[in-house]
Structure 1
């Protein structure tokens, strides 16, 4: 089957509208090459979860059925921001898998991929694809661990970082690729964040950790470009044989990969 299938579930239906986030959506409904689809309430992606209201928390737990939270932020971000409201929910398991070095102080510029003291113009697709591939080369352990959480979760898993765009986009793309979602659909899902990039930046701007870095660049510097994700998927395909090949190199067995695929699609 060619990579031209589209979801029967519209992007509008996949957005999760809560008071405390602006970039949460469900991967459920995305088609797979074998004629199936990703099941709803298995894999959700999101921006920072620090601002969820009590009503948001109830929706996450009782309606979305979330059991696991995968936090891709750096140690610096987690310690600076402090525990969010979901940390107080006993039914949730939190997994911190930073895509930066353990214990390393990480600036907001690094977390948001904003070059410090740089006059470089708009961050282009090449810049971002190189940045994302850096996650795969420097923190394959964290990416592998994050996907393992998704594969073993008893309920829905929320994968998030600060904006829910770059680190989250990379991990979710590998999960969807392993599940058999066509590349063009993964690219489209990644680029969907662009619809809310202004709101994402507005939400992060008042925060001490991110505000200065974001004020020094334009909205277009942070806008996701389809060609960025296409490059990532093409590179993983050519160098590893796709996400499943990459996971095999990380020590995953066929049974492990099947567990991830079945968790997302069955």
Structure 2
């Protein structure tokens, strides 16, 4: 399943189909419509050809303007998809970069990531993009792509909420989230990103960087817990924060489920 779900690319990490999972009531999410990834600034020409062949019509870019300026996405010469992005910062920095501030050990890095995930569901400038993301999903039964910088934190929360809305069980949502640690080519990203992180934050270990640049079940569980503590359950979070009520969830299921 991992090999068929992940699109192997040269310069775009963590590009994969987040459909294909079974729902609790025995349906399955269609393949080839729901894509997620990291940023595309380092895409090769071959990557652009492969992405173009997917027929993506809408890109939801969860990065803030400073991140988009620092690493503009490369586009295929025939790129014609609509790109949605928020005019203000959505995280200030990618969460793993923000969490690196002041940490030394891997345990400190994990604790910092968990603290950030405690608030990811309510970030003021991320919530409008999550609302826009669901608007895209609801109106389109054609391929879409959601991404941020690493495609793991902001994108991970967005995808988890979409999968929950579609009726995918929590353990399968977590399976997809943790797939980042292999699909995201984490060791290559550590090698590429370690220098930048150390230049900014000092001589921290590879294990510390791995805790920042990878994902962990405790991270996503912290976000689930925060949403559930504030709203009672995830359905109410979807409705009260993102405007995705029961009729909208049914519309999403009509678009994306089969069997």
Partner of 1:169: 156
List runs of 5+ in structure 1 lacking aligned partners.
Answer: 1-9
Partner SS, residue 68 of structure 2: helix
Q: 2:97 aligns with which of 106, 112, 123?
A: 112
**Whole-Å separation in 1 of the counterparts to 2:130 and 2:91:** 20
1:246 is displaced (CA, Å) by 1.4
Aligned to 1:96: 85
Give the equivalent residue in structure 1 for 2:113: 128
Q: Distance in 1 between matches of 2:218 and 2:36?
A: 20
Q: Are the counterparts in 1 of residues 15 and 36 from structure 2 also a CA contact under 8 Å?
A: yes
Separation of aligned partners in 2, 1:240 and 1:230: 15
Instruction: From the superposition, tell whether residues 126 and 184 of structure 1 become closer, same or farther in structure 2 (CA, over 3 Å).
Output: farther
Aligned residue pairs, count: 249
Q: Distance in 1 between matches of 2:128 and 2:149?
A: 20
Secondary structure of the equivalent of 2:60? Answer: strand
Q: Residues 211 and 31 from structure 1, CA distance in 2 versus in 1: closer, same or farther, beyond 3 angstroms?
A: farther
Aligned partners of 2:251 and 2:23: how far apart in 1? 16
1:69 matched to 2:59? The reply is yes
TM-score (norm 2): 0.82
Change (3 A) 1:259 1:116: same
Partner residue in 1 for 2:44: 53
Q: Which runs of 5+ in 2 are unaligned?
A: none
Counterpart check, 1:33 vs 2:24? yes
| Root-mean-square deviation (Å) | 2.9
Q: Does structure 1 residue 137 correspond to structure 2 residue 122?
A: yes
Cα deviation, 1:110-153, whole Å, max 9, x if unaligned, reads: 66233434446534555323312322222322222222222223
Q: Which SS does the other structure have where 1:122 is aligned?
A: helix
Residue number in structure 2 paired with 1:258 = 250
- Given candidates 238, 248, 252, the residue that maps to 1:247 is 238
TM-score, with structure 1 as normaliser: 0.80
